[in-house]
Amino acid sequence: MYEVRPSVLQEINSILERSYFTSASFTVSNNPNKYPFLVIEFNPQTTYKFEVSPSDNDEGFSTNESPGEHISSGESFERINFDLVIYAVENWIGRIRDDFDSRKKITNVSDEFIEKLRDNIFSNNSTGEYSESEIKGLKTKLNKLSEIVEKQAEQLEASEYQIKQFKKEIENIKNDLEVMPKGVWNKVAGNKLLKSISGFLKTSEGRSLISEGIKKLLE
C-alpha cells in the first residue's frame, strides 16, 4: 500500500502551480492499492503523464514519464528515493514546455505562404518520371524563386554564407530533378526548400519580405 502523505502531495502541487502551466492544467491521483499508485496527468494533452510505481526490486521507485528525456511516448526510470521522484516531476514539466516551444518554432516557419509555395511547385500526387519539358518548367520556377529570395535576403542584410547556402540548396534541388521520381523529388525538394528558406524567417521583417517575394512568384 502506497498512500502518499498529504504534505508530499502538497509539495507536488506547489511544483505544478509554479510551472508555466499552473496546477489547474494537471490532475494528480493517488491510488494506494494500484500500480502505478501515483499518476500526474497533463489535462490539455492526456498522453502526457508521470506515473510512479514501486521498483521491481522493492528498492526505490520506478517512474514512467511521457514525454521522456529522449522518447516522446515515454521512458521508464529508476529512482532510489521519493525525493528524486519529486525532483523528476519538475524536469518532466520542463520537457512538456520544450515540446510545445519546438512546435511553435516549426509553425512560425511553416507559414501559409510557404505551404502555398509547396503546393505551387511541388505536386505531392505526381507519379512517374519528369519529362524534359516539366524539368525545364520547374527549373524556371526555381530560378525565379532563387532570384526573389536572394534579393529580399539582401534587404534583410542576411550573411553571405546564408545566401550562398540557399543558392547551393536550390541547385541541389534542380539537380535532383534529373535523378529522382516525381513523388520522391516532391517530398525531398519541398523539405529542402523549407529548410533553406527558414534561416531568413526568424524575424517578422524577414517573414514579411520573403512572403511578399513569394507572392509575386505565385501571381
Tell which wins on pLDDT, 89 or 156: 89
Residues 48 and 100: their CA atoms lie apart, in Å, by 12
In a domain, 1, yes or no: no
Domain that holds residue 187: 110-218
Closest CA to 190 of 140, 126, 118, 105: 118
Reported as a pLDDT band with limits 50, 70 and 90, residue 59 is: confident
On the 0-12 / 13-18 / 19+ scale of CB atoms within 10 A, 129 is middle
What's phi and psi for 157, nearest 5 deg? 60, 40
Q: Would 97 be classed as within a structural domain?
A: yes
Residues 204 and 117 in one domain: yes
Range in 1-10, 37-46, 182-191 the model is least confident about? 182-191
**58/123 same-domain check:** no
Question: Residue 91: which residues within 8 A CB-CB, separation 6 or more?
Answer: none
35-48 tens-digit pLDDT: 999 999 999 999 99
Q: Please state the rounded mean pLDDT for residues 18-24.
A: 93
Query: Tens of pLDDT along 94-147?
Result: 999 988 877 655 445 445 555 666 666 665 556 788 889 988 988 888 888 888
Query: 115 and 214: one domain?
Result: yes
Domain finish residue from 71, 103, 135: 103
Based on the domain organization, do 133 and 91 belong to the same domain? no
Mean pLDDT for 63-74 is 92
> Do 142 and 198 lie in a common domain?
yes
Answer yes or no: is 131 within a domain: yes
Count CB atoms within 10 A of the CB of residue 155: 12
pTM: 0.54
Per the structure, the count of domains in the chain is 2
Nearest in space to 167 (alpha carbons), one of 141, 186, 147: 147
pLDDT grade for 212, boundaries at 50, 70 and 90: low
DSSP per-residue codes, 188-219: HHHHHHHHHHHTT-SSHHHHHHHHHHHHHHH-
Which residue among 82, 103, 124 closes a domain? Answer: 103
Tell me: do 128 and 184 sit in the same domain.
yes
Question: Are residue 120 and residue 98 in the same domain, yes or no?
Answer: no
